[in-house]
Amino acid sequence: MAMPKDPAIFVALDVDDPKRAEALAEKLSGHGFGFKLGPRLMLREGAGLVRSIARHGDVFVDCKHLDIPTTMVAAVRAAFESGARYSTIHASCGPKAIQALKPLTQEFPGHRILAVTVLTSFEPETLPFAWKGTSIQDLVSGLARECADQGHRAFVCSPHEVKSLKQMIPDGYFVTPGVRPAGGDKGDQVRIETPAQAALNGASSLVVGRPILEATDPLAVAMQMQKEFLTGV
């Protein structure tokens, strides 16, 4: 069975008001966008919001699970059963958890489990204690390689590291947050790039939040960023 087409851009609905999230999804509906739901809304609204947003595009539940394997499997299954097509885990969960999660991709064909490598808010000076002394590039590559050794092929990384991961795992699917229009505000992201540069580096899909959420015309900004990503200019 062929994998359904992935959205070029997931719009991060990182807001507190579910009505605002639904209104934005409706405004962007019909243009091929996916929608990311994180803990801010999932802890308040749960599966009902996933089903509502899924009427407008593929849903990406981004709760970044890191737990014992049985709990991670149950959490990802719950996301898929609620109507999400994508769910995130931490790549640092270890090979045992990656192996335990693999059957879910057969149980839910066309769905993706995305392994988050190193958050785009990190820089060398702010890495956790256990990661101190290792470059971010080496951390990302090492985490991805450990997952890939277990057959995992879908990752989240910054646009700075995606080029090397694409070379290491040519058949991988790489989602890159930390994407901003040229000259846009960085916010709390550190390792960022433009849509065109992310595409050039090898990104498969982008996650974009504030540049769209805070725009006077969210659809126009989303369409422009999608065009830049797909055309590379």
The 3-class secondary structure across 37-53, one letter per residue, is ECHHHHHHHCHHHHHHH
Which parts of the chain are beta strand (E)? 9-12, 34-37, 59-65, 86-90, 112-116, 154-156, 173-176, 205-208
Q: How far apart (Å, rounded) are the C-alpha atoms in residues 215 and 16?
A: 17
Classified as helix, coil or strand, 220 is helix
For residue 121, the tally of other CB atoms under 10 A from its CB is: 14
Catalytic residue among 19, 27, 36, 64: 64
Residue 62, classed as helix, strand or coil, is strand
Q: Does the annotation mark 64 as catalytic? A: yes
C-alpha distances out from residue 201 to 5, 106, 160, 166, 181, Å: 20, 30, 8, 8, 16
Say which residue the tokens 């204690």 belong to: 129
Among the listed residues 68, 5, 50, 66, the one whose alpha carbon sits nearest the alpha carbon of residue 32: 5
Q: Give the other-Cβ count within 10 Å of 115's Cβ.
A: 26
Which active-site residues does the annotation give?
A: 64
